[in-house]
Structure formats: structure tokens, C-alpha cells
Amino acid sequence: MFSLSRFSLVFLSFYLICPSLYGQKIKGITVVAPPSEYQDNPMKPLQEINTDYIKVVPYGFSRKGETNIVFDMDRQWWGERTEGVVKTIRLAKESGLSVMLKPQIYVPGSWIGDLDFETEVEWEEWEENYRTFILHYLRIAIDEEVEIFCLGTENKISVKKRPQFWINLIEDMRQEFPGLLTYCSNWDSYSNVVFWPLLDFIGVSAYFPINEDKTPTVNQLVKDWKPIVSKLKDYSNEQGVPMLFTEYGYLSVDGCAGKTWELEKKVRRLDINEQAQANALQALYMAFGKEDFWAGGFLWKWFPENMGHEGYFERDYTPQGKIGLEVIRKNFERDYQ
């Protein structure tokens, strides 16, 4: 089983390698994998808004009901292939930015959180394939000296029904990876994860629906956050592990502080609302910025050199060219205070 003494040694060694991580909150942004290689260093605009971390997200793909996982394919976008992942990490490091590597599985027409199998054989096949997938990227994280590695994303049913698989995976990773480990749970299922004490952060996709009005004020949103902040704080303290928003963000449309997964389905038909996005971001920073249990987070998302968007840039989560960008810059500058 997990060795606390070994964990302490690993944690201490990484503290000595990367002391800047401690004493301040992570001010991170997800850099979307581009379809083709960068023309310039895409980290410069991120430096200008006081970002200190980027998140790199290479995808693997699976089909509903199938156990196989395919990844690092020639037909994938450049930024999702190994060469693009490594190049992005190196550009970040050269620019003085730290990195979280967060490989995740995409299931077309479904969601990885609904992944389930009827037989033990199917589960074991999928787990073996997932191990191959995730350890491929762990090796990159080791070789490129990545600071944080996220070992899974929103595997809602799997972590509840098959926790031993994840515990074993964490223990094996601790033997190899000197950095910090987290897992990313969906906002509504973090309490179903039993292995948080084995990790360095409680990772949460923080798309909590707090207000469905078109443009709620910052003060109203801060008020709406209070009971959620209290609940998350109690949970973090109970687990003895700080909480990291492995993903958070808002579309720049009416009602963006509500049920974002529903808004995504009709996003092209929604009215653009940059102020709603800016207010939602400011409220999140005000609600969590002074909380010791909160380790910061990674904004979703940023299109490097404007590559990789799906045709509704002006409504998407990115703050690029929008009034929310100044909100981010100011909050990152003062460490959310």
C-alpha cells in the first residue's frame, strides 16, 4: 500500500526543486492543442497577463462500450501528438512558465464519466489500455520535468466502482514521478473519490451552476458562491488536501454562470455577453482568492495564435480580446487578492 514516508520524501524533494510553487496560488491557463506548429512563441501573451502555469491537454479517444483507447495518431492535430506536446512544454519552460500535463479521454457522442462495462474482463481490458495511455504521457512529464501531472479526468463511474485500479496507478506513479499528482473530478462528484489523501491536490472541474440570470452582478455571484465555498472548504480540510480547480471558466454568453454544459449545446444561438463572463470570473476570484484551502486553478481555455477554435470564438470560453482578459490580468498580478 501507499507509503507515507516515501510520499514525504518525494514531496520534500520536489519542494526543493520547485519552491516557487508554494506560498502562492496557481494562476494557470489551458493552452488548446493547435492543428499545426506554432509560428512564434505563443507563451508571450500569457506572460503579459501574469500567467505562471499552463495546462497541456493531449487527448486519447475511445468509443462508447469499447475498451480500446487510441492516441498519438498521425491524423491528430499537431499539438496533441507527442512532438506537439513536448514542444509546447519546452516553450513554456523557456518562457519561465510551469506546466501541468493533463491527458484525457474523449468519447464521441458521450462522456467519459458515463463509461461503464458489464463484465470484469471488459473493465480489465479498458484499465490496461488506460494504463498504457496515461503512462505514455507520464514518461513525457518525467523527461520534460513537468511540475504537475493529472492522472485522470472526470472518470465518474470508474473511480467509484474501481477505486483500487486508481490507487495502484497512483502508487506506481509515485515510484517514477518526482512532481505533484492530482486527479480531476467533475464538480458534482468529487466526494465519490476515495483516494484524495494519496494525491497533492483535490482536482475539480469547477463548473458549479450558481446563477442563470443573463448578467448577474459580481456581488450577487459572490453571494451565490458562499455556501459552495463553505462546503468545499470543509471537504478539503476533512481530506487534509488543498483543492485545485483543474478546470474552470465561462462562455461569453448570456447566463454563463449557470449550467454551462447545457449552454454548450446551443452556444451558436446564444447572445454574446462579455460582461457576464467578466463578472463571473471576478466573482470566482473574489470568492476563493483569500481561502487558504484553494490552490488556484487553470482557466479553460486559450487558443495559441488563435488556432484550434471551433468557429464561435466570440462566444467561447477564451477571454482573448474580451473584457474578461483585464479581469484575469489584474487578479493574476495580485495573486487573486
pLDDT tens-digit profile of 283-301?
999 999 999 999 999 999 9
Range of the domain at 163: 4-206+296-333
* Alpha-carbon distance values, 24 to 12, 140, 155, 204, 280 (Å): 17, 26, 29, 19, 22
Helix-then-strand count for the chain, H and E: 10, 11
The string over 142-158, giving b where at least 16 C-beta atoms fall within 10 Å of a residue's C-beta and e elsewhere, is eebebbbbbbbbbbbeb
CATH number for 50: 3.20.20.80
Report which secondary-structure segment, H or E, holds 30: strand 26-31
Q: Is residue 275 part of a domain?
A: no
Q: Is residue 119 part of a domain?
A: yes
How many domains does the structure of the chain reveal?
Answer: 1
Q: Is residue 239 part of a domain?
A: no
Q: Is residue 194 part of a domain?
A: yes
**pLDDT at residue 17 above 90?**
no
**pLDDT at residue 2 above 70?**
no
Single pTM value for the model? 0.92
Q: Is residue 284 part of a domain?
A: no
Q: Is residue 279 part of a domain?
A: no
Percent of the chain with pLDDT strictly greater than 90: 90
Q: Is residue 234 part of a domain?
A: no
